[in-house]
Amino acid sequence: MATTQDFRLSPNESVLLIVDVQEKLMAAMPEAPRNRTLDSVHTLIETANRLGFPILATEQYPRGLGPTVTSLAESIPNFSPFEKMTFSCTGAGKFFSDIKALGRSKIILTGCETHVCCYQTALDLMENGFIVHAVADALCSRQKLNWRNALKALERAGAIPATTEQVLFDLLKVAGTEDFKSLSRLIK
């Protein structure tokens, strides 16, 4: 059972995980969810960059599905995605050892598809003691039923349901700071 402490986010405990937000895969998504997801992921990248917490990204079979969406990849310092063939990111080379080595317990989960790679990744991470915050507006699937069902299943499995705005303000904690002034403009 999740505790109040599990729900709280802080930059020093968090990792932003971007799962398979790739050119060809995103082109297969309906326009409205695709645009919502890309905008939300971009906001979370800017938040992570501003507040100084790590960003990890994966690419599912990049030879077939293409690279990460260029605008996102260009906004991540030292971008170096983990290539994978497994649906769960934990099966991607050094991904699991690298995420553990960061010494952080909270994963801000974004990407696609919600019901496949994101779902399996979240379950594997939670089985290994990580607290996963599933950011609904930064996750997508080709079909709304799959997206909605995966979010419900993740919550039942113990993931913390969240939105981009909720994550941003929880990380900020207070208004009036330079970080607040810089980041709050992203959600207007």
**Known catalytic residue at 24:** no
Provide the b/e sequence for 73-93 (b: ≥16 CB within 10 Å): beebeeeebbebebbbbbebe
What are the start-end ranges of the E strands in the chain? 14-19, 55-60, 82-84, 106-112, 131-140, 160-162
Options 89, 106, 112, 117, the catalytic residue: 117
**Known catalytic residue at 106:** no
Options 20, 124, 137, 179, the catalytic residue: 20
| Residue whose tokens read 């497994």 | 86
Options 84, 89, 106, 137, the catalytic residue: 84
Give the SS3 label for residue 22.
Answer: strand
| Residue whose tokens read 């990111």 | 89
**Known catalytic residue at 84:** yes
The amino acid sitting at 178 is E
Catalytically annotated residues:
20, 84, 117
